[in-house]
Amino acid sequence: MNKITTTFSTKQGVVTLSDPFFTLMHDHQQIEVTYKPNNYNGWGVCKTLNAIEVSDFTQADAELFASTADSKLRLQGYAA
């Protein structure tokens, strides 16, 4: 199996597409989309999708994924 890795640098951090560590009982090949923010000390968010869903993943898609994931990582209503 070929190892797929594609990295996009976004305003909020880095979005990476790669083969997941493992998958169980899926009809289609899976791809893991990972977002790692610039200022979260290695923490991030990942989502596993069917490869067909991200076959034409672009920089604009990476920016949208990063923006959405970043908004979910931050607690709203709390002052730092």
- Tell me the pLDDT tens digit for each residue of 10-47: 999 999 998 776 666 667 778 889 999 988 777 788 88
The more confident residue out of 28 and 9 is 9
How many residues comprise the chain? Answer: 80
| 3-class SS letters over 20-61 | CCCCCCCCCCEEEEEEEECCCCCCCEEEEEEHHHHCCCCHHH
pTM for this predicted structure: 0.77
User: How does pLDDT run across 44-78, given as a tens digit for each residue?
Assistant: 888 888 888 888 999 999 999 999 988 877 766 55
